[in-house]
Amino acid sequence: MTATAPNVTVRAWRDLDPQARDLPGMSLGTFPVTPQIQQVDRLWDLGVRHAELDTTVDLSSDDPATHRRAVDRLCLVRDLTARAVSVDWDLRLSPQESAQQWKVLSHLQPPRTVTGLDDAEGALHAWRTRHYLCKLVWRQGPGFVQIRDRRWGDLRRFTAEEPRYHEAIALLAPGAHHTAVPADIVEEFTAEHLVLRVGDLAWWLPYRVSRWLQEAMAV
């Protein structure tokens, strides 16, 4: 089962432009939110177009509580990115992992800072200059789930027609203990870099789209 997620605090504004955010009425204050898509929809309806997370997303720790906090904040970054809401957030990666590990997260809004890598500045520059919306998305069609992945420079498309894949995505979306999902599905998704393992948690990387931001064949 997924652990009960603690509140995450975000500061919010009506505009993503730094100068515009200083104007009267642009700040929406601070919100405690839970990392659920309904919460992101609520922020959007309130007029939030730029948000700032309360603490660093730390993927370098061995502490299970830190794993949960990191996944909770990644959920918000993912779902805010799906809404094209800009996000100020900071990321700490593990130097023991591949120097290219940032690419797994490169469909998300680029972070403000990246630490923990030998060439963190180079990774951050590449992330910022190569980022665009709908880089890794999934959608639910009539009787199928489809994922489109362009993080690696080409289009990789995956289609699953079995209902258990959609059930697995629902479990993985907020981050779940890896044993809560059928092992073969977790292994399959992990092999395609569609799931991120954070300690014992497995977290679903793609964000969902209900309509394409550009003509569907071009995404």
pLDDT at 149: 97
State which of 95, 130, 165 marks the end of a domain: 130
Please report the pLDDT score of residue 212 as a whole number: 53
**Residue range of the domain that includes 184:** 136-218
Spell out the residues 6+ positions from residue 116 whose beta carbon is closer than 8 angstroms to its own: 59, 60, 92, 93, 94, 95
Q: What is the pLDDT of residue 61?
A: 93
Q: Provide the number of structural domains found in the chain.
A: 2
pLDDT at residue number 31: 87
Segments of the chain with pLDDT less than 50: 1-4, 217-219
Strands 144-149 and 156-160: antiparallel
* CB crowding 139-175: b at 16 or more within 10 Å, else e: beeeeebebbbbbeeeeeebebeeeebeebbebbbbb
Q: Is residue 1 part of a domain?
A: no
Residue 54 lies in a domain: yes
If we measure between CA atoms, which residue out of 80, 64, 40, 71 comes closest to residue 204? 71
**3-class state of residue 9 by DSSP:** strand
**196 and 98 fall within a common domain:** no
Residue 98 confidence (pLDDT): 64
Tell me whether strands 50-53 and 86-88 are parallel, antiparallel or unpaired: parallel
- pLDDT for res 1: 37
Closest CA to 61 of 49, 73, 52, 70: 70
Do 105 and 149 belong together in one domain?
Answer: no
Domain identity same for 99 and 143: no
